[in-house]
Amino acid sequence: MEHVTILDFIVFCLAAYRITHFLVFDKVFEPVRRYFVVRDFAGPLPTFTLQGGCIRRFIGKVLVCHWCAGVWTAGALAFGLWAVDSITWVYTALAASAVLSLIETCWTKAVGFPEMIERREP
């Protein structure tokens, strides 16, 4: 096994964070996520309805749990490092995206901007 520096590890962790956040939380992935699980945030606690058979239900369980999705994401990224020599530039881009999203979240919370609300014309 090749020696992993602390910088390599940080980039790997940030890339895993970004992919996990994309899979579990980001709106742009919602249409795909809805194939596996339907989320309902109408009540005091969110509810999740798993869709389909055994495999779809398993994927749905992973897609509602950031801990679960993080484990599978890290495993897939580790496999990518092993299988593809030139993939580190992709991980670096994902890590940069993660840092930018964390900075934006901190900035938004610090200056009091309201959450982004999707508004639709009637």
Tell me the domain boundaries of the chain. Answer: 6-111
Average pLDDT, the chain: 88
Cα distances from 40 to residues 23, 45, 115, in angstroms, run: 17, 9, 19
Span 49-86, pLDDT tens digits? 999 999 999 999 999 999 999 999 999 999 998 898 88
| pTM (2 d.p.) | 0.80
Report residue 15's pLDDT band, with 50, 70 and 90 as the boundaries: very high
Residue 58 token pair: 């398993």
Quick one: CA dihedral 56, 35, 33, 75, positive or negative?
positive
